[in-house]
A and B are shown apart, each in its own frame.
Chain A
Amino acid sequence: MAQASTAVKIPANVTTMQDAKREQTIAGLTFIAPAAVIFIVFLIIPILFALYISLTNWNGISPVFEPGAYEFVGLQNYRALLIEDGIRQADFFKALKNTTYYVLGVVPTQTILALLLAVVVNQRWLKGKGFFRTAFYFPSITSSVVISLVFMFMFTRGGVVNSLIGAIFPNYEYVNWLDDATGLFHNILGLFGVTLRSAGEWSRAEFAGLRLWDWVSGPSITLLTIMILNTWTTIGTMMIIYLAALQNIPGQVYEAAYVDGANTWQVFRKITLPLLRPTTYFVITLGLIGCFQVFDQVYVISSGGPAKTTLTIAYLVYNNGFQNSAMGVATATAIILFVIIFTFTMLQRRLVGGEQADT
């Protein structure tokens, strides 16, 4: 078939090889041009533009192409964010601390829960698989704003969550989930009598505008609420991805292992997990990229408060750029965020993705 068609192809309407090549080039460029224009105007130029703006002190209001709208300040914005003491640095490191706690809390939790749920749903004896898949996936298709409103409704002081816990534990003191700046670890340590006062001199030392005690206090209760929200939303997507990968593992692999005398735990640990490695890499990458950029939920639920404990890097960018008229600083922050995401993605590629050496 293929041979016959190439044989007929030559006399058709193409005369020489060069004509064919030119036709291909023109066709290729025509097909890709519309998408390419959109990419260039709305993606490539903005990226280059962002790099440039991060080196200026533009305020975002004066027309950018008029002379005198801004000054070129070199790396000043980056210095103000990373090195020089002051409000910029303090805000950036607060946001970095919050975002890091957020990522470290959400990514492992959602990955492990999604894997466990997928393993259970994948069991042959389980009935109603479709129901569980739907139940877990539905939150992922819902708008982040709607999910945020729903969670606010449930986590308000007089809301469902507090009344439920109160009904189970009569001594429970209602928690102000949506407006509580105290850190999680701070509260736990407090239960054991460890406080800022009793912790010792070190805890009052400052690093990057924040007391060491605040660095180790953990996510605030409000940030914790947003972490629960995000975990709750994304488990479904991650579970579906794991489930698809599990269903791709041929049954003979397990049978062979059981015949060889392996128990369930050994099979899971030595066979399932290693085979799922590429999937785990993918799920963690998705989680990292998503979590580092958390914005919508913060905008709707807390606007960065209380006491800046839910200020995330993405929200700081928005706040500086569009509320405080500091576009230069905001863009520099955004680019640092990109570098952080890129570094973490590469790092975990080495840890989880690449070589299979240590199995």
Chain B
Amino acid sequence: MASITLPAYEQVKEQSPVIRFVRRVLPIIGIAFLILFAAIEIVPFVLTVANSFKCLQAVQAAPQAFIPVPPFGVECRNESGASISPSEMTTGITFNPSMEGYREILLSNNLPRWFLNSVIYAVAVTLLRLLLDSMAGYALARIKFPGNRFIFFIMLGTMMIPGIVLAIPRFIILKQIGLLNTYHGFILSLGADAFGVFLMKQFFESIPGEIEEAAQVDGANRFVMFFRVVLPMATPALTALTIFSFQGTWNNFMEALVIIGGNVDLLNLPLGLAILKGAFGETLRWHSFLAGSVIATLPLAIVFFVFQRYFVEGISYTGLKG
């Protein structure tokens, strides 16, 4: 055996020059490919932020300036009220930032209100899901009662139903019970989700049961035990659930469109921006729309950079379980 393996191994060492060349070049191609795609992913965000700080006239001017230089806070109109020309605020790839876009999007419509709504929705839905999903997940993982498995499979099955299938009947039911176009209607509709229950169930099944048994021996009642003993152990899963819920609700568009789309005071940021865009038609005031996009993205971006590790872990966790 050894005498067969050895020559084969030697062969690998003395590959033909072509294969050796390929081996040399492959990493370079790989890195070039990676950097190219990283650039494609990043550049749109850089341009969005840069152009949100430009005057409307300068937004599409080529070449795209993206490095801000002083003086800051340029006024987009001169003393006589005429718009300044792009060349007055950009030189090559540098530009003098202006707050015009932010002023326009924040002052001329409901954006601050929508921002507040987004915060309310995201926080309320997340809290509700943390409580309901973990309770349901715990029951499915730990308590044996009739119908346990049946309920689990029904919940799992609902994950396959496309959102648009639910949109119309949800609209009707919420209308019937008077929850259409209300804060609580939107929050309750999203208040528990199958994915969250699944995540929590998986987690509770992965931790040993001895601690709960010990607590039970001490006579702790199940609810006290759940909140005092079980939940504190579930921090990793709860963190993942918090991130997914917050992100999902903050970005929610389709359910928002159907449930709260009828009242302009209730919109969340994505829906508000989309409806605003629809109202403008062909001639978008790009600097202010890009400013709105930055405002809608910033809170999530901050959450993402602070909790990045958990985002990645959460995604990998669901991926492996799937």
Contacts and interface: CB of A to CB of B under 8 A. Distances in A.
Say if A and B assemble together: yes
Interface of A: 1-2, 5-6, 8-9, 12-13, 24-25, 27-29, 31-32, 34-36, 38-39, 41-47, 49-50, 53, 60, 64-65, 113, 116-117, 119-121, 123, 125-126, 131-139, 141-146, 148-154, 156, 158-160, 163, 167, 232, 235-237, 240-241, 243-245, 248, 258-261, 263-264, 279, 282-283, 285-286, 289, 292-293, 295-296, 299-300, 303, 314, 317-318, 321-322, 327, 330-331, 334-335, 337-338, 341-342, 345
26 contacts: A2-B210, A27-B139, A27-B222, A34-B135, A38-B192, A39-B154, A39-B158, A39-B192, A43-B166, A44-B158, A64-B176, A125-B27, A126-B31, A137-B312, A141-B300, A145-B251, A149-B273, A149-B277, A150-B47, A153-B48, A240-B315, A244-B320, A260-B5, A285-B322, A293-B162, A300-B274
A286 B319 CA distance: 10
Given A41-B173, A295-B164, 18 more contacts: A5-B210, A6-B213, A13-B219, A27-B145, A28-B144, A28-B148, A46-B169, A46-B170, A123-B30, A132-B34, A137-B312, A139-B41, A143-B296, A146-B273, A153-B47, A245-B320, A258-B12, A342-B160
B138 interface: yes
Nearest to B163: A293
A20 to B, nearest CB: 10
Nearest to A233: B41
B62 interface: yes
B37 A136 contact: yes
A156 B273 CA distance: 18
B31 to A, nearest CB: 7
Counting from the closest, the 5 A-B pairs by CB-CB distance are: A28-B145, A244-B316, A46-B169, A241-B319, A31-B139
Contact of A261 (B11, B38, B173, B322): B11
A282 B322 contact: yes
A34 B131 CA distance: 9
B320 A143 contact: no
A45 to B, nearest CB: 6
A5 to B, nearest CB: 5
Nearest to A334: B165
Interface stretch (B85-93, B94-102, B231-239, B285-293): B285-293
Interface string B114-136: 00000000000000000111011
B162 A36 contact: no
Contacts of B12: 258, 261, 263
B40 interface: yes
Given A53-B169, A126-B31, A292-B162, A137 B311 contact: yes
A65 B293 contact: no
B172 interface: yes
B304 interface: yes
A348 to B, nearest CB: 13
Given A42-B189, A141-B300, A149-B289, A136 B38 contact: yes
B38 A154 contact: no
A25 B143 CA distance: 8
A248 B135 CA distance: 31
A331 B170 CA distance: 12
Given A64-B172, A113-B37, A132-B34, A259 B167 contact: no
B162 A263 contact: no
Interface in B57-79: 60, 62, 64
Nearest to A143: B251
B290 to A, nearest CB: 6
A240 B312 contact: yes
A29 B145 contact: yes
| Interface of B (DSSP majority class) | helix
B319 A279 contact: yes
Contacts, number: 297
Interface of B: 5, 8-9, 11-12, 19, 23, 26-27, 30-31, 33-34, 37-38, 40-42, 44-45, 47-48, 51, 60, 62, 64, 131-133, 135-136, 138-140, 143-146, 148, 151, 154-155, 158, 160-173, 176, 188-189, 191-192, 194, 197, 210, 213-214, 216-217, 219, 222, 226, 247, 250-251, 253-254, 257-258, 269-271, 273-274, 277-278, 284, 286, 289-290, 292-293, 296-297, 300-301, 304, 308, 311-312, 315-316, 319-320, 322
Nearest to B160: A342
A279 B318 CA distance: 11
Residue among A6, A31, A41 with most chain B CB within 10 A = A31
Given A138-B304, A143-B296, A299-B274, A159 B60 contact: yes
A338 B42 contact: no
A50 B319 contact: no
B117 to A, nearest CB: 14
Nearest to B148: A28
A259 to B, nearest CB: 6
B110 to A, nearest CB: 15
A9 B322 contact: no
A279 B251 CA distance: 26
Contacts of A6: 213
A332 B197 CA distance: 29
Nearest to A265: B22
Nearest to B269: A143
Contacts of B132: 34-35, 38
A263 B8 CA distance: 11
